[in-house]
Amino acid sequence: MTDASDLVGEKKRGGQRSGRARRTGAAEPIEPRINLGCGSDKMDDWHNVDIVPEADPDEVVDLNETPWPWPNSLFDEVLASNVLEHLDDQHAALHELRRITKPGGRIEVRVPHPNSPGFWADPTHVSPLCEQTFTHYLAPDWEVEEVRVSRVRFGRLFPESIALRLADHIGHVVDEITVVLRV
């Protein structure tokens, strides 16, 4: 397996990478931060990953295939925005997030709330996740630093913590949950 220090930090001329990273022999150096499931939301100074080649990510990866193609403890920061709910094996994905993040690293996960219309409207959503997913006894060893919600409709009338609890019972209160984890 490639040593993590060989992959991080270097950039091509002018700050641009020359195409996608390929896993044939020596790996191309990549950023210390990874944006999983980037779609069209590519971020500068991040390693942008998606399953869809047309999104033109830095690397095309099917996150349903584990282990993911990166060494242990490679990334300082991981962003998984609206991607985990599309994966077949949530348990494996959570453990892969933990594996690729450096000790002390930060993981930010954004998922639609299970009672939001957005979750059920997308036929590619496989399984819902909620705040408790990240503190379940089967979850990896990490610290939940912060939980934020995006409130909709009358959910905006309540503090985030109350809106989140209401959303567990009725829809149209919270549409997205953001969980920040520290490894």
Quote the CA–CA distance of 32 and 4 in Å, as a whole number.
Answer: 9
Write the pLDDT tens digit of every residue in 49-84: 999 999 999 999 999 999 999 999 999 999 999 999
Closest listed residue to residue 173, CA positions, set 65, 38, 158, 86: 158
Quote the CA–CA distance of 5 and 56 in Å, as a whole number.
Answer: 25
Question: Given a cut of 70, is residue 111 above it in pLDDT?
Answer: yes
* pTM > 0.75: yes or no: yes
Would you place residue 38 in the very low, low, confident or very high pLDDT band (cuts 50, 70, 90)?
A: very high
Q: How many residues does the chain have?
A: 183
Quote the CA–CA distance of 100 and 72 in Å, as a whole number.
Answer: 5
Would you place residue 27 in the very low, low, confident or very high pLDDT band (cuts 50, 70, 90)?
A: low
Give φ, ψ of 160 to 5 degrees.
Answer: -55, -45
**Full set of structural domains in the chain with CATH:** 4-182 (3.40.50.150)
